[in-house]
Amino acid sequence: MNVEQLVAGDPRDATVRHLRVRDQLLRIVTTSPEANDLVTETFYPDGMLGVFEATSRHDPDLTVVDLTCDASDIQELLRRESLTAARGEFELTRGFRLPRFDSATHTVFTLRDVNSDEVAAVVRTEGRVTILRPASGLGDRWLTRIVRDVATRLAKAAGSLVLHSSAFVFDHGAYLVIGDSGAGKSTTAIALARRLPSAGWMGNDRIHAEWQGHHYRVTACPLPLAVNKGSLDVMGVTDFGSWPVRAGLPGSGSDWDQFQGEDKLKLSSREVNRFLQVPVIPNMRLAGVLLPRVDLASGYSFGLTTPAYTAEVITRNCFSLDDNLYGEDWLGVPARRTAAAPSIDAFLEHIADLPVLRCSMGSAGDVAKLAGDFQEAVKT
């Protein structure tokens, strides 16, 4: 197996689909039904992070081919490249560097998840990304990872302000739920999406906000919703044991049954819709901000926050300033449209005219109180 053979054409019996990612057309080729299904499940509904199913079949900007092969073949390819190409490194995720091999016609990247020893590879040629990976559950995720990486790079190039935030929709507006890790963002967002009338959920952990001339439009990076059993308890969810969740239920002995445990149940956006019966909204105009805090030693509180506290929390949780996931653009995604992201000061100035609220919760029961208080606070 050499690079020329790998990039010569499509594999036999492959599934071919096209995705529109903002202003670019991606042609997706895979022989794995599981990998193909995971792309569909992740970018649900249509428009999540600017990714749409496309009907066009002409002149893709990038073809992404997903190939399964033996681990020994991948290792042999990497060994040969190490002998003939210039060796370097690249940053797959922030602070996690892996070997790369550059030649005149192609670059080969070593792929490995930070939590696994399983090795895969990517061959980058003109207009084409070829993934070589084992036939495994972890391997099935690389295709989605590449599509998400391309979508994120294009969003950032277009001027997205990226925030460490969850988000929900209420009354035709998006509300960012911003806070540090463990602040209760996911619990707050999904609980309000279920409890408020005609509400919906947008996303978890990373939210993009783009200036549209008169307002910000919010969309989510499709990462799994991570929730504790305590979060499900407050929403009245009791049938989770029967859910055929792709990621599986947390194992015995984990602390996921606590209101503030580290181990969490992970649901894709499609699974959120299916199991929690919550509409998933791909994008919406920004309507306000909620800054939550889970503190088991304190009681419930709710109200308007101060500009100083808002600036402190949002600045600390702005991934446009310090992205904890995406480092260098190792794939070299070409962007036709570029714009600078809004400054923190510009964002803070805009939301000063919107409801910016703060809450503290000490128990799962406190989340139930929040829905009524929130609805009253944003009532127009």
DSSP symbols for 192-223: HHHHSTT-EEEESSEEEEEE-SSSEEEEE--P
pLDDT at 1: 67
Judged by DSSP in three states, 30 sits in strand
Rounded-to-integer distance, Cα 281 and Cα 168, Å: 8
The DSSP H or E segment spanning 18 is strand 15-21
User: HSE of 58 in the Cβ direction (CA atoms, 13 Å)?
Assistant: 0
Tell me the DSSP string of 51-108. Answer: EEE----S--SEEEEEEE--HHHHHHHHHHHHHHSEEEEEEEETTEEEEEEE-SS-EE
CA angle at residue 253 from 275 to 267, to 5 degrees? Answer: 20
| Confidence at residue 147, expressed as pLDDT on a 0 to 100 scale | 97
224 closest CA partner among 207, 241, 247, 244: 247
Radius of gyration of the chain (CA): 22
165 DSSP β-pair partners? 178
Supply the pTM of this predicted model.
0.92
What distance, in Å, lies between the first and last C-alpha atoms of the chain? 65
Distance CA 72, CA 65 (A): 20
**pLDDT tens string for the chain (380 positions)?**
677 777 778 888 899 999 999 999 999 999 999 999 999 999 999 999 999 999 877 889 999 999 999 999 999 999 999 999 999 999 999 999 999 999 999 999 999 999 999 999 999 999 999 999 999 999 999 999 999 999 999 999 999 999 999 999 999 999 999 999 888 898 899 989 999 999 999 998 999 999 999 999 999 999 999 888 877 887 888 899 899 998 888 887 788 877 777 788 899 999 999 999 999 999 999 999 999 998 878 889 999 999 999 999 999 999 998 888 888 899 998 888 899 999 999 999 999 999 999 999 887 778 778 999 999 999 86
Nearest to 277 by CA among 243, 230, 228, 229: 243
* 303: region left, alpha or beta (phi > 0 left; psi from -120 to 50 alpha): left
208: buried, middle or exposed (CB in 10 Å: 19+, 13-18, 0-12)?
Answer: buried
Q: How many helices (H) and strands (E) does the chain have?
A: 10, 19
CA–CA gap between residue 252 and residue 183 (Å, rounded): 25
Q: What is the pLDDT at residue 380?
A: 63
pLDDT reported for residue 334: 86
- Angle, helix 307-316 to helix 344-351, in steps of 10 degrees: 140
Which one, of 212, 294, 227, lies nearest residue 257 by Cα? 227
* Cβ-Cβ contacts under 8 Å for 48 (sequence gap 6 or more): 42, 203, 219, 220, 222, 269, 280, 282
Vertex 64: Cα angle to 158 and 56 (nearest 5)? 70
The DSSP secondary-structure symbol of 275 reads H
Q: What is the pLDDT of residue 99?
A: 97
Distance separating alpha carbons of residues 295 and 171, to the nearest angstrom: 29
